[in-house]
Amino acid sequence: MTKISKITIVHSVSRKFENALEICQKTCQDCSVEVLDVLSVAEKNLTKEIDRNSQLILVIGGDGTIISTIRKLLTLEIPFLGINIGKLGFLTDINSDSIPDELPIIFNGEYVGEKRPLLEVSLSTNDKKVAVNEVVFHSGKVAQMMSFSIFLGNKLVSNHKSDGVIVSSATGSTGYCFSGGGPIIHPTLPVFAIMPMFSQSASSNPMIVPSDEELSIKLASKNNASIVIDGYTDDEIEEDLKITISQQDLFYELIHPLNYDYFEACRTKLSWGNPLVDIHD
């Protein structure tokens, strides 16, 4: 892997980032790595502020911070590395205590690069948006159902009457989709996870489908809905509007420490597979 000598640091505004930032800057100085910029994720023109000579975007925060950063800086094609000062931290690998040990190794070119697919969301109004985790379609009101159909390519998958549906990327399978009872999916897989929300049908189960074809959702007549992307936007959708989701060559790159293990993250962060008793006793 390529050695890293120039980075940009993007930090959260909702969490206490100062201590982690200080440790990162000190570690960079010790490793002769130049910090080109230190910017808030809330910066209005974040893309314009980033120095294009950066070899790495170091993100200090939680999963929400790195998701927001990826969405804003995707077009720069610079890899991301997360410093976790949040709670769960599926996208942020390094804890504050391990910064002095982990960062020098990564700066020396010893790391794992991983490309993950994104979701591109297109409305029939030609408005396009990008999602890292998921796209949520809901009725816009609590406990109010709506009718819609889901298609994969030109084939009807299913008709629904429910509060809505979550369409998740593989990365987003451990997010809102998981909270709704959806499956955990390895984050590099090019698939969609479809999770109906509070469906009227008893057979409305979560489904995983390949993303080599477009997934589309068509609202029935006399139905309105809202769309939420990664928890950040909430736009109203008018009746008969078609929403299309695709994964055509849309990727972002994460950098992980050499000891990164996705399944270890599942075990520790989700208490995955913990037995009621210690099986080794």
What's the whole-number mean pLDDT along residues 162-186?
92
Provide the pLDDT for residue 280.
Answer: 59
Whole-number pLDDT of residue 277: 61
Residue of 169 and 147 predicted with greater confidence: 169
3-state secondary structure the chain: CCCCCEEEEEECCCCCCHHHHHHHHHHHHHCCCEEEEEEECCCCCHHHHCCCCCCEEEEEECHHHHHHHHHHHHHHCCCEEEEECCCCCCCCCEEHHHHHHHHHHHHCCCCEEEEEECEEEEECCCCEEEECCEEEEECCCCCCCEEEEEEECCEEEEEEEECEEEEECCHHHHCHHHHCCCCCCCCCCCEEEEEEECCCCCCCCCEEEECCCCEEEEECCCCCEEEEECCCEEEEECCCCEEEEECCCCEEEEEECCCCCHHHHHHHHCCCCCCCCCCCC
Distance between CA 132 and CA 65 in Å, rounded? 12
**Model confidence pLDDT, tens digit, residues 118-157:** 999 987 666 788 999 999 988 877 777 888 899 999 999 9
Task: Reply yes or no on whether the pLDDT at 281 is more than 60.
Answer: no
Query: Which distant-in-sequence residues (6+ apart) come within 8 Å of 202 by Cβ?
Result: none
Instruction: Using the predicted structure, report yes or no on whether residue 265 has a pLDDT greater than 80.
Output: yes
Q: Which of 30, 37, 63, 278 is catalytic?
A: 63
Q: Do 6-116+252-269 and 119-246 have matching folds?
A: no
Q: Which two tokens stand for residue 231?
A: 């928890």
C-alpha–C-alpha distance, residues 222 and 264, integer Å: 47
Residue 32, classified by CB atoms within 10 Å of its CB into exposed (0-12), middle (13-18) or buried (19+), is: exposed
CA–CA dist 83, 101 (Å, integer): 13
**How high is the mean pLDDT of the chain?**
89
More confident residue, 233 or 66: 66
- Judged against a pLDDT cut of 80, whether residue 194 lies above it is answered with yes
pLDDT digits (tens, 9 = 90+) for 205-242: 899 999 999 999 988 877 778 889 998 766 777 666 78
CA trace torsion 61, 66, 72, 74 (10° rounding)? 140
Confidence band for 106, pLDDT divided at 50, 70 and 90: very high
For residue 149, give both structure tokens.
């159909």
39-53 mean pLDDT:
92
Whether 235 is catalytic is no
Most confident of the following: 25-39, 74-88, 116-130, 136-150: 25-39
When pLDDT is cut at 50, 70 and 90, the band that residue 266 belongs to is confident
Strands 56-61 and 6-11 turn out to be: parallel
Fold of 119-246: Tumour Suppressor Smad4 (2.60.200)
Higher per-residue confidence, 26 vs 199: 26
Residue 70 main-chain phi, psi, to 5 deg: -60, -45
Q: 200 versus 223: which is more confidently predicted?
A: 200
CATH architecture of 6-116+252-269: 3-Layer(aba) Sandwich (3.40)
pLDDT at res. 236: 76
**Widest CA span in the chain:** 63
Query: Nearest-CA neighbor of 270 among 207, 194, 206, 177?
Result: 177
Where do the domains of the chain lie?
A: 6-116+252-269, 119-246
Residue 48 has φ and ψ, to the nearest 5°, of: -70, -25
**Of 84-88, 227-231, 251-255, the least confident:** 84-88
